[in-house]
Structure 1
Amino acid sequence: MSNHLPDPTSRPTLSVDEVAEILGLDRKTVYASVRSGELPSLRVGRRILVPTRWLAAHIAPDEGEAALTGSRSPRSQHPAQGQLPL
């Protein structure tokens, strides 16, 4: 899993492919998480985009918005297979 997230101010959204690469997941898993509402997204034409700030705050508190506010959210060490590691 690559925890390298772009700066939310320069890249406010990420594509499904980028999210899959960052999380080390299959694209189908990311699409399923979008459909279920587990992963917030917005549709622009035919593209599905994920807010970079949300992703940063939920998967990498040290690199994301949570680090700026000084808060940390608990994360599961071993997410269930097929689920996002939130």
Structure 2
Amino acid sequence: MIIDTLYRILVRQIFLLLILLVSLSASAQEVNCLVKNRKAEKLYNDALELLYSGRRKPAFDKLYEALKVEPNYVEALYELAN
């Protein structure tokens, strides 16, 4: 009886620990999506300003430049698709 109770407590703790580790792993992956390249970020911001002013062609050129510098720049890809 006591062994069964201890076993259940141990299984619960292991289960909670696994859930914690999985959630921490998922949140750590979000941080890796941030752009580290300042040049690509500046090109992206310039493109947004051009888009807001209605100048689509130059904005798309800036977005393509940003993607040349940082090929995995998700925000730039999104703006091009949008």
TM-score between both structures, scaled by the size of structure 1: 0.22
Q: Higher Cα Rg: structure 1 or 2?
A: 2
- Per chain length, whose mean CA-contact separation is higher, i.e. which structure has more relative contact order (CA < 8 Å, sep 6+)? 1
Per residue, is there more strand in 1 or in 2?
Answer: 1
Per residue, is there more helix in 1 or in 2?
Answer: 2
